[in-house]
Structure 1
Amino acid sequence: MTSTKEPVFIKEGTPREGLTQGISLHGWTITSKKASICSSAEMEKISKDYGLPPPEMVFGNNHVTVEKDSFKLSFGAYDALSQVDTSSTSSEKIKVAYSEEWTRKSSANHTDVKDVVKPYDWTYTTKYRGTSNAELEQHDGQSLVDVNRLRQQEPILFYDENILYEDELADNGTAMLMIRLRVMPTCFLVLQRFFLRVDDVLFRLNDTRLYHEFGNDYFVREYTSKEAHYNVIRQKLGRGDISLLNDQNWVSSVMPDEPTESIKEKLKI
């Protein structure tokens, strides 16, 4: 692909059949495809392939893709759901970590909670970091995502949000996997976020960031996982608007600084 300093905007298809939008700049092509929610046949395939009932809403034909030359990294719901834990003890993990709160919640006439305790992680937590055709090299140094640059007032050439799946956890919270991406004249950032709220029990954020500054000879992928007791985050709210507990940006801003897991990677390009 010919490198260009001028952006080339992409728009293919229709919302009905699947709409792909994106941008090509400096040899990189970044696209976001949005299509209809999975059909019943597609949901049955997820259940059969992965051994778990799928989330309430799965957008299995949605994709976000980052490409340059022969390198390609994409995000999609099917691959993300393949990493949901279906081991025999997977449904017990939140109960073990937050036993007192979970026991109280599940015994207070919440039969719907009892019903979802099955041999799979019913929170649909995934540590998916994207599907890549190249191995990225891990490094132990500081983050290579330039937060100060991202805070600069720079024109946004392309922006999109894309949901891969969502579930209300039998009215006991929410689980959502979504992607936000923005491309500026000097760099781009793609954020895939798994957001989990189990009411009275837990908040969890699993974030994967793709970052590149045009002109640098490397591409960055960084993954962090953070979690906190529900009450810790609720107390941060004080007397504020309780709807903020559904605001992923706000919850992220008050989560603990130290992640429970962190993976930093880069790829020479």
Structure 2
Amino acid sequence: MEPPRLTPAPPPGKPASRYAWWVVFMLWGVCFFNYADRQAISAVSKPLQQEFGFSESELGLIGSAFMWVYAAGAPFAGFICDRFRRKDLILGGCLFWSFVTMTTGACSRLWHFVGVRALEGFGETFYFPASMALVSDYHSPRTRSRAMAAHQSSVYAGTILGSWLGAWFAVQHGWRYGFYVFGGCGFLLGLLLYRFLREPARGASELEAPPVREPLGIALRTAATDVFRTPTALLLMLVFAGANSVAGVFLFWTPKFLADKFNFQLTMAGLGGAAFI
């Protein structure tokens, strides 16, 4: 079988090609649905409670199922992304989590919701390790920060619009509709980008030669040793864990809090809950 064709990256220090910026644009769309899909559930927590009689603890279980799986899978996702084509992991993940998002609209029991949220966390955990590696290979240090900053804006666009539109769809058509729309659009995008997104040569934009690939077990031990012996890495992990624990709770519960405490309409509660972040 003929090996997959790799796209050369610009030499270190050279301006990024026009296609390299198109890569950022394409990944922006995938990342938008990565966050819109995960955030849509928070906007409809009140309708879910009204229809199914979920307690606050049960809603918390639904909300946290995604994060537990996402966090547990992230370290392993990084090693997998170092060994397989990033394009396949990004777009395959997009197809998987988009399908799971669509199935959320068919849920009717607590374990259904917990299960689809856990599966969505599994599908989405591959995106960031693979996409950041892809951007780094298309953009040398000269443009890498700008490329990553542009890509990062999709996180907030997806978070805000996912919550707001999820609530709007719930008001206009019922809470299930938003999951069908988000999941369907993300699935179509994943199929479309398989034609246009190309895999770059791994490590081609680095100033030094790419590292030699090690067996998985050795690589895991080496990476863990390097991380836990580096105080800066440990502090960054601690800060990131603290920030995300607050953000996760805030983003999931704020729309319902605004609706319950201040009688916000569902659409405004969905927008306000995300915009405050």
TM-score normalised by structure 1 residue count = 0.26
- Which is bigger in relative contact order (C-alpha 8 A, separation at least 6)? 2
- Structure whose residues are more often strand by fraction: 1
